[in-house]
């Protein structure tokens, strides 16, 4: 089983992260689920799908990190710490994004649109990014911010509701 995206994730973690950082368990299960979905139909795929959902529930319950294989996430995901992290199933995230504990990325209203995060977005602890918005490449989201508008590439968003600080 080759998982190049997971290799890129692990490259953003310290050595031995698998035994030290619970968030990596959630990422491993996610990459496994995506890998299985990319395979041709058959018994083995069905079996692995059952295994995926079983592992997903265990890891979600143990770590409080919740994003299913429906989310599109580029290589090099880094999650600092764990707990209360929720990403809506329709969210798209680019490569080398960083999340922290308490982050929610989802809709503002039931059935509403959800955010797209471009590459290298950095999200501070407990930030909430909500609605049909786009977070540009390399943008930073402040800890505890509630982001309800798109953020240009390289800009910083802080506060509730978040105000945009243009790139320096
Ligand atoms: C958003 C962040 C990246 C900004 O860092 P920065 O680019 O160095 O920007 P500054 O510190 O110069 O702050 C710029 C302005 O935003 C304000 N600001 C910074 N972070 C803020 C936050 N989380 N909420 C509200 N305002 C914030 C600053 O007070 C400053 O306001 P001012 O211009 O009125 O003085 C950083 O403050 C942050 O929140 N990082 C998240 C880190 C994190 O989650 N750590 C948890 C570790 S477990």
Q: How many angstroms is it from 121 CA to the middle of ligand 1?
A: 15
Task: Give the CA distances from residue 33 to residues 3, 84, 124, 125, in Å, rounded to whole numbers and listed in that order.
Answer: 11, 21, 26, 26
Backbone angles phi, psi at 5, to 5 degrees: -65, -35
In the reported structure, the alpha carbon of residue 14 is separated from the centroid of ligand 1 by a whole-number distance in angstroms of: 25
pLDDT tens per residue, range 25-84: 999 999 999 999 999 999 999 999 999 999 999 999 999 999 999 999 999 999 999 999
pTM > 0.95? yes
Quote the DSSP letter at residue 151. B
What pLDDT, in 10s, does the model give residues 94-118?
A: 999 999 999 999 999 999 999 999 9
CATH of domain 4-165: 2.160.10.10
If one residue of 142, 144, 151, 154 were mutated to test the ligand 1 pocket, choosing by the most ligand atoms within 8 A of its CB, it would be 142
- Residue 30: helix, strand or coil by DSSP? helix
Distance between CA 63 and CA 160 in Å, rounded?
A: 27
């Amino acid at each position: 089983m080759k998982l190049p995206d997971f290799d890129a994730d692990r490259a953003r973690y310290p050595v031995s992260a698998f035994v030290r950082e619970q968030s990596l368990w959630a990422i491993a299960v996610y990459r496994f689920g995506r890998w299985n979905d990319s395979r041709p139909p058959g018994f083995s795929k069905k079996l692995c799908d059952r295994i995926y959902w079983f592992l997903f529930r265990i890891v979600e319950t143990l770590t409080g990190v919740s994003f299913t294989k429906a989310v599109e996430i580029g290589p090099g995901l880094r999650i600092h710490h764990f707990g209360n992290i929720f990403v809506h199933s329709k969210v798209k995230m680019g490569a080398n994004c960083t999340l922290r504990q308490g982050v929610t990325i989802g809709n503002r209203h039931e059935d509403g649109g959800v955010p797209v995060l471009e590459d290298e977005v950095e999200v501070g602890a407990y930030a909430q990014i909500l609605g049909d918005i786009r977070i540009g490449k390399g943008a930073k989201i402040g800890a505890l911010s509630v982001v309800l508008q798109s953020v240009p590439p390289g800009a910083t968003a802080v506060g509730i509701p978040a105000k945009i600080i243009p790139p320096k």
